[in-house]
């Protein structure tokens, strides 16, 4: 978590630190993180230690531009649930062409779908060329 947010040599830094994701100062000390971990929403010791849970920072902050790892902003979720929020967060820019021909530039599929009542999975399929349209919309990477 710290490496992804603060080490520019980390391969995931472009998705975290470069995007403004930070870790609360308290969690810079690992012993404080360990103190807090059992109090993070969704924590289940058995599932956590068997690898069934992941720490997520996006779900609780879905409507916010603030991206911080902290006890208030994180929760434990299954990998599948975590992927629902992660997969579409770091896409390259694309154009959505509405059913009436309006062009909309965007770089975040999840946010775009929320604005126009679309489904991120279907938009992603269109961008990958697996589907031609979703609810009358067309999509192309820039």
Show pLDDT as tens, one digit a residue, over the chain (142 residues). 999 999 999 988 988 898 889 999 999 999 999 999 999 999 999 998 888 999 988 888 765 666 899 999 999 998 777 766 654 444 578 999 999 999 999 888 888 998 999 998 899 899 989 999 999 999 998 8
Do 81 and 100 fall into the same domain?
Answer: no
In 3-state terms, what secondary structure has residue 57?
Answer: coil
Do 66 and 113 fall into the same domain?
Answer: no
DSSP 37: H
pTM tops 0.75: no
Do 98 and 82 fall into the same domain?
Answer: no
Helix (H) or strand (E) holding 96: strand 94-97
CA angle 58, 60, 62 (to 5 degrees): 60
Q: Is 11 exposed, middle or buried (0-12, 13-18, 19+ CB in 10 A)?
A: exposed
Q: Residue 61: give the domain boundaries.
A: 2-86
In 3-state terms, what secondary structure has residue 14?
Answer: helix
**Domains held by the chain: number:** 2
Do 10 and 80 fall into the same domain?
Answer: yes
Do 7 and 36 fall into the same domain?
Answer: yes
């Amino acid at each position: 978590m710290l490496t992804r947010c603060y080490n520019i040599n980390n391969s995931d830094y472009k998705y975290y630190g470069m995007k403004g994701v930070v870790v609360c100062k308290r969690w810079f000390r690992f012993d404080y993180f360990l103190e807090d971990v059992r109090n993070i929403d969704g924590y289940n010791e058995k599932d956590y230690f068997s690898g069934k849970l992941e720490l997520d920072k996006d779900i609780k902050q879905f409507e916010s531009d603030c991206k911080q790892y902290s006890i208030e902003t994180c929760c434990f979720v299954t990998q599948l649930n975590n992927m629902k929020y992660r997969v579409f967060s770091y896409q390259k820019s694309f154009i959505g062409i509405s059913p009436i021909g309006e062009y909309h530039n965007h770089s975040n599929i999840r946010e775009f779908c929320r604005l126009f009542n679309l489904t991120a999975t279907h938009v992603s399929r269109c961008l990958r060329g697996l589907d031609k349209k979703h609810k009358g919309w067309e999509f192309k990477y820039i």
